[in-house]
Amino acid sequence: MSVSVPSSVPLSAPVSSSDAPARPIGVIRVLTSEDPAAVATHGKALEERYGLPTVSRCIPGQPHGIHDDDSEARAEPKIVDLARELADAGARTLIISCAADPALQKTRQAVGIPVIGAGSAAAAVALGLGSRIGVLGIRDEAPPAVRAVLGDHFAASARPDGVHRTTDLLAPEGPAAVMEAAAGLVASGADTLLLACTGLNTIGIRPLLEERLGVPVVDPVLAAGLLASYAYGG
């Protein structure tokens, strides 16, 4: 499938994933889009899985999200600013929906509420499921935030062929490339897979990977939601 991702959405226009109560979980998207449904995708997944009220917003000016050191550096101050806006508007907990955990510590210092990074959350959940964790992402190396949590349980990392940005996952050949890279990690000895790009939640490939490869697959969006369910307190 071919999907065009528009360039921006005004920060002043919140995108609610539902008719959320006054103190929802704020989901910070690092992929810029003008499509409210696209921005709300990860928040919807959390509502359906955990019954969590969410409001989703995206940072401006990054139509391909975070995919290298430069795009991450440009995103960090935008993430902190958006986190402050969400906290001031009444969010009880924040999720940075990116497996690189960009600006996580800076954001925690800037707001007085819990902030969860999708990458470290996924790594923590993966450690509860296996001992040799294969990391599947959009960079040649696993995100440092993920490696730091996995420690000696990190087995290997892989990037799907032809995928360098999260938007590449939406290309017709994206899912097949993901499957091939994941199969390679399992063949090399990984007993659990960690999806180190939240765009892999967007394309909904986790169930297919588990079915075909026979190992647990940790989705970073759902892992962040699991921790958020503790921080939110019901």
The structure tokens 């359906």 sit at 48
Helices 220-232 & 118-127 angle (0-180, nearest 10): 90
- How does pLDDT run across 115-161, given as a tens digit for each residue? 999 999 999 999 999 999 999 999 999 999 999 999 999 999 999 99
Write the DSSP symbol of residue 149.
H
User: Is residue 20 scored above 90 in pLDDT?
Assistant: no
**Which phi and psi angles does 232 have, rounded to 5°?**
-70, -35
High-pLDDT (> 90) share of the chain, %: 85
Helices 206-213 & 174-187 angle (0-180, nearest 10): 40
Burial string for 68-78 (b: 16+ CB within 10 Å, else e) reads eeebbeebbeb
User: Is residue 6 scored above 70 in pLDDT?
Assistant: no
User: Is residue 5 scored above 50 in pLDDT?
Assistant: no
- How does pLDDT run across 27-68, given as a tens digit for each residue? 999 999 999 999 999 999 999 999 999 999 999 999 999 999
User: Is residue 22 scored above 90 in pLDDT?
Assistant: no
High-pLDDT (> 70) share of the chain, %: 90
Question: If you write DSSP's letter for every residue of 186-209 in order, what string do you get?
Answer: HHTT-SEEEEE-THHHHTT-HHHH
pLDDT of residue 16: 45
